[in-house]
Amino acid sequence: MNEDPTNLVKEYLDVEHDEAQTSVRNTTLGIYVIVHEGADATDAYEDVGIIIEGVQILENLNNVANACSVMLGLIYTLNLAYPQDLRYTFEVFQKIFMELDAHKLSNKVQVLKNKLLS
């Protein structure tokens, strides 16, 4: 979708607490992942959570996929607009994966859907 995935998921080491707090305050909508320093790529995350308007809303979500689905639910529940820099990513979540309002797709998402179905 040509959107930067680091705008959605921010990864921090567990020893970078001050940097993480500063970044959280500047995040409009996103997911944070805390990784233990020296952890292998297959190791479980220390924490996964959701940030809305600079506030840590949820924590201990176990994985990024779960956090994405919960975030989509929060966006619907709180009637939030998708962040402009992630609008196509969230449109894919909503209209292709969740099949909500799937008949109205932007051109970019329609091309992706056609490629996935072929």
Per residue in 60-69, pLDDT (tens digit) is 999 999 999 9
Rounded to the nearest 10°, the torsion over CA 114, 3, 52, 101 is -20
**By 3-state DSSP, what share of the chain in percent is helix, strand and coil, each rounded to 5?**
45, 20, 35
Per residue in 56-110, pLDDT (tens digit) is 999 999 999 999 999 999 998 999 998 899 999 999 998 998 888 888 899 999 9
Predicted structure pTM score:
0.83
CA distance 116 to 23: 35
Per-residue pLDDT at 16: 76
